[in-house]
Structure 1
Amino acid sequence: MSAPLLSLSGVHTHIGPYHILQGVDLQVPRGQLTMLLGRNGAGKSTTLRTIMGLWRASVGEIGFGGASLKGLGTADIARRGIAYVPENMGIFSDLTVRENMLLAARSGPLDGARLEWIVKLFPSIRQFWSKPAGKLSGGQKQMVALGRALAEPRALYMFDEPSKGLAPVMVDSMVAALRALKEEGATVLLVEQNLAVAQALGDSVAVMDAGRVIHHGGMAQLAADADLQQRLLGLHLGAAPQRAPAGVAP
């Protein structure tokens, strides 16, 4: 295992009267794609939101690149080099696709070569360049959201269920884009319910239940162990109802 870029140790998060995260321990190795899996309500999205400072950890430590994120605001955390695409995509609906992309380049003008790489991954970005983002379909909005996250190289990319609600062809595009990101040596933390996508992309995996990480290991190990999948997730990859992405054996 590579040295972790991101580490959570004993993280608890309260939202109002609700105790959502109950001692999360998680490590995200550098240069790998880590899957964060679990049943609905396990705390996966809250974990990402806590890392980004959208919810504040009440107890515990969050380390990133050897420094603590504790007490930092969301904007400061993003400036440390973390890109985050929430489940609701987080695009600016009243702005054009072009304006959304330009705003995502925080450190200066959008690099032309990188933009060409992004539009090869997501051709709809070029197709709808001058169109208000709010007028796009759900799948097209998701492609814009992913493209925005890639507008600049980041130390860590976090995606919350990017395949949710996408047509199969859009899922294939998303998987291809994340594979390309992996080939760049990027570090990715991906929450996903589509287990075929998880199997296709994951290097390491952490499984959550009831606000805690209850399993961590290699994605290939989990994919090969139907009994472990059943125990941790209540189903197994071989019986997953989702269509496998293009190029992935069912």
Structure 2
Amino acid sequence: MSDILLQLSGVHTHIGPYHILQGVDLSVQRGQLTMLLGRNGAGKSTTLRTIMGLWHASAGSITLDQTSITHMSTADIAVQGITYVPENMGIFSDLSVRENMLLAARSGPIDQQRLDWIFSLFPALQQFWQKPAGKLSGGQKQMVAISRAIIEKRHLYMFDEPSKGLAPVMVNSMISALRELKKEGASILLVEQNLAVAQALGDQVAVMDSGKILHHGSMQELTDNPELQQQLLGLNLDLNLGLNVGSATGAHA
């Protein structure tokens, strides 16, 4: 069995007249969390949406576990075992939290043991279990979105900027949840602008700019190299954002 779960090779994506992805080569290894970093407009969200079949690649190939998903529909890609939390969270506002979770449990009734595990990650989830999801705060909605994504085990979990707009205490809860997911051996592709989150969680990192991958390597390599950070991102990862994130090495423990 290959160590690579997801592989993008020479992927191009056009949206109308715009050529967004311009030959993306990206891999996600089994059981690891791969960070996808880059400036706004670099093509990160388009990469996730192309993997999910929401936009179709105009050239190149995408394989999951050595099976081509390049031309599959979004529904068929989901059946292959990929779950995706978009930047807008993708929850059903008019439904209760419970109903949102029931819809996410594709294989049947919610597994109670799995649900209890999620409640241990997000204890507040039980407090608004019967409330309409649209009435929740931004942090609570993100809690629901992540919980929906992990209610069943998947081959690959993809999250698009899950910490965006969240208070530090909520970001810490999210980091803890993703660390627990990693302990399960999950494979995760995470788009982030919060570099403290990237440093805390990442095993591998890919840096995008102008629709291309400029760098792919270990998160530790990028963390330890301020010159590389400056070259690729125009800044460095030695940031104090008020988060209790620990170190990248600690995140792997």
> What SS class does the counterpart of residue 94 from structure 2 fall into?
coil
| 1:243 matches 2:230 | no
Alpha-carbon distance in 1 for matches of 2:219, 2:23: 23
Alpha-carbon distance in 2 for matches of 1:32, 1:245: 21
Structure 2 length-normalised TM: 0.96
| 1:50 matches 2:41 | no
**1:245 to partner: Cα distance:** 3.1
| 1:165 matches 2:190 | no
Cα distance per residue 1:212-241 (max 9 Å; x no partner): 000000000100100100110010001x36
After TM superposition, the structure 1 = structure 2 runs for residues 12-91 of structure 1, keeping only pairs within 5 Å, are 12-91=12-91
> What SS class does the counterpart of residue 222 from structure 2 fall into?
helix
> What amino acid sits opposite 2:19 in the alignment?
H
Structure 1 length-normalised TM: 0.97
2:251 is matched with none
> What SS class does the counterpart of residue 159 from structure 1 fall into?
strand
> What amino acid sits opposite 2:244 in the alignment?
P
Alpha-carbon distance in 2 for matches of 1:50, 1:192: 17
> What amino acid sits opposite 1:221 in the alignment?
E
Cα distance per residue 1:94-135 (max 9 Å; x no partner): 000000001100011100000000011112211100000000
1:104 is matched with 104
Cα distance per residue 1:181-239 (max 9 Å; x no partner): 0000000000001000000000000000000000000000100100100110010001x
1:220 is matched with 220
Alpha-carbon distance in 2 for matches of 1:245, 1:22: 37
Quick one: percent identity of the two aligned structures?
72
Cα distance per residue 1:78-109 (max 9 Å; x no partner): 01000100000000000000000011000111
Cα distance per residue 1:47-100 (max 9 Å; x no partner): 000000000000000000110002111010001000100000000000000000
> What SS class does the counterpart of residue 237 from structure 1 fall into?
coil
Across the aligned residues of Structure 1 and Structure 2, the Cα RMSD in angstroms comes to: 1.1
Native 8 Å contact 2:172 2:244 kept in 1: yes
> What amino acid sits opposite 1:59 in the alignment?
A
Runs ≥4 in structure 1, deviation > 6 angstroms? none
Native 8 Å contact 1:196 1:243 kept in 2: no
> What amino acid sits opposite 1:244 in the alignment?
L
**1:242 to partner: Cα distance:** 2.9
The runs of 5 or more residues in structure 2 that have no matched partner are 249-253
